[in-house]
Amino acid sequence: MSTTPDTNIVFRPVVVRTPAWITLTVWLWRLLVAVVKTVWRHPVACSGLGLSAGSVYALGVHTSALLFITAVCAVVVWAAIEPVSCSRRFKWPAVAWWRWMWVYRRRWRGVMAVAGLGRSIRGRVYLPELVKVSCDRWADRVRVRLLKGQDAEEWAARSGNLAHGFGAVSCRIEVPKPGWVLLTFPRRDALAQVINDLPYTGRPVVDAVHIGLREDGLPFYLKLHGTHVLIAGATGSGKGSWEWAIVGALRPAVREGIAQVWGLDPKRMELSYGRALFSRYAATPVECAELLEAAVATMQERADRYAGVRRDHEATMDDPFIVVMVDEIAFLTAYVPDKQIRARVMAALATLTTQGRSVGVCVVAALQDPRKDVLSIRNLFPDRVALRLDEAEQVDMVLGDGARDRGALADQIPRDPRDPSVGAGVGYVRVEGAPTPIRVRAMYVRDFDIRRMVLREAGVLSHPSRDDTPRLASDDTPDLRTDRREGDRA
C-alpha cells in the first residue's frame, strides 16, 4: 500500500512450492480417470484397439493380420444376415466414436468459447462437459453436462452457433434431466422426399392415427382421442394434406361405426372435394355455427350420462368418437361480418375445447394467421402443428414461448413456387406435456387419393390390404396431372 500518487502498486501472489511427486500423482490420477471414462463411453472402439494391440504383441504381425481379416469377414457376413443388429451393435457405435473424436471433441473448446457457453473465473476456464455422442441413420445426439448454475435456455439461444460450429444444418435442444442437455444434430433429412401414399390398414384406430414420418425415419402417430389439434401454416404449406391424412387414417374406424368426422368448410374448396367422407358437413357461416352447436349438444348429452359413472370415453357404436374438423377457422372467428354468428362460433368452440376431451369430441382446426385477435382460444388446443410460417414470431405464437430457440424453425421451411410439393406438409409438432417440438412430414394427399377414398366409400373400389408403412415418392411415381385425369375418369 502506498499513499504516493505516482507510485506503481505491484501485487505478488503467494507461491506455494509443490513437490514433484504430488504433481505426478495428480497427473497420473487424471490420466487414469480419462482412460476409464473413454472405455466406459466407447466400449466398442476401445475394445477393438485393445484387442488389436494385444494381438500384435502376443501373436505377431502376420497372425494378427490374419485374425483381423477374419474378423472383417465375420462382420460383413453379420451385416448381410442381420443388418439391423449389426448396425446397432457395431456400425453406429463405431461412427459415434469417430465423430466424438474428429468432430465434437476436436472442436469443443473453440465452439464453446465463441458461442459464449464457457466461463472464465479468476483466469481459469470452465467448459461444459462433453459426455457422450450417439449416432443413428439420421442424426448425432450429443449429451452434455452443464456448468453449475447454467441454464438450458442459454443453450437454446445459441442453437444456431452450435449448428454452424459443428457443421450441421440445425441443432435442437432437449433437457432430459436437470443439469443436462441433449443436442440433436441432423445429418440426413428423412423428410426431403414426398410421402406419396396414404397409410391404409383394416384396423379401426381412433387414439393415435398414422399420418406421416418423423425426422428420425420412424412413423408419426398423431393423437386425436383425448385432445384437440391446431394446425397453423401459410398458404401452400400443406394444411390440406394434414386434414386429409387424418380423414384417411380414420376411415376404418368410421366404417366400423366407432368414429365420425364432421367437416366445416367455410371456403368450400377443400373439404367439399371429399364431402361423402364426412358424417356431417357444413359450408356457410350459419351452417357452421349450427353444426358446432350440435356438437356441443352431443357433448352435453354424453356428459349428463357419464356424470358419476365414468371419467373417460370409449369409442363404441352408441357413442362414437367425433372429430370436428374446421378448415380456415379464422374466417369463422374473426372475419365473418355477422357479429352474432362469430359469437355463436366462439362460444361453441370454447365449450368444445374445454369440455369435449373427456366425452370423445376432438376439434381439429386449421388456420393461416395464428395471432390472438384472430383465434383467442389457441391455448385451449393442447397439441399444435406449425407448418411453414411467414414470420419467426409466429412460431412461438403457435408452439409456445421458446419453441423456435429449441429448433422449431417453421419460418425457414423451404418453398418452391414451381413445385408446390416442396416443403408441403413439413412442420413441427408440439404435443401436450412435451415442450420440445418434433419435425414431421404428413402424407402428400393428391386429388386422386381423395377421389379414391370417395369411390371406396361408395363401394366402387375394393379395400386393398396394405401395411402401415408409407412409401416414399420415387422416380417412377406417376405425374400428378395424370393421377387427376385417372381419378376424373374413374
Query: What HEC string does 104-166 produce?
Result: HHHHHHHHHHHHCCCEEECCEEECCEEEEEEECCCEEEEEEECCCCCCHHHHHHCHHHHHHHC
Query: Cα(first)–Cα(last) distance of the chain, in Å?
Result: 99
Q: Is 237 annotated as a binding residue?
A: yes
Residue in the structure block whose three cell numbers are 432437449: 174
Contact 407, 437 (CB under 8 A): yes
Q: Do the annotations mark residue 267 as ligand-binding?
A: no
Grid coordinates belonging to 64: 494378427
> What are phi and psi for residue 301, nearest 5 degrees?
-65, -40
Strand partners, 281: 263
Angle between helices 239-256 and 447-457 (to 10 degrees): 10
148 is in an annotated binding site: no
Output b/e per residue, 187-213; b: 16+ Cβ within 10 A: eeebbeebbbbbbbeeebbbeebbbbb
Task: Using alpha carbons, select from 337, 405, 403, 343 the residue that is nearest to residue 370.
Answer: 403
Question: 462: how many CB neighbours lie within 10 A of its CB?
Answer: 7
User: Is-contact 389 398, C-beta < 8 A?
Assistant: yes
Annotated binding-site residue? 240: yes
> Cα-flanking dihedrals φ and ψ of residue 269, to 5°?
-130, -10
Phi, psi of 172 (to 5 degrees): -115, 145
The set of cell numbers assigned to 155 is 443453450
Sheet containing strand 361-367, edge to edge, reads: 219-223, 208-214, 438-442, 426-430, 383-386, 229-232, 361-367, 321-326, 259-264, 280-282
324, three cell numbers: 370436428
* Beta strands 321-326; 361-367: pairing state: parallel
Q: 38: annotated binding-site residue?
A: no
Alpha carbons 89 and 308: distance in angstroms, whole number = 53
CA distances from 296 to 281, 345, 355, 363, 429 (A): 15, 11, 9, 11, 27
Do residues 412 and 388 touch, judged by C-beta distance below 8 A?
A: no
235 assigned binding-site residue: yes
Q: Provide the annotated binding site for ATP.
A: 233-240
Q: Provide the annotated binding site.
A: 233-240
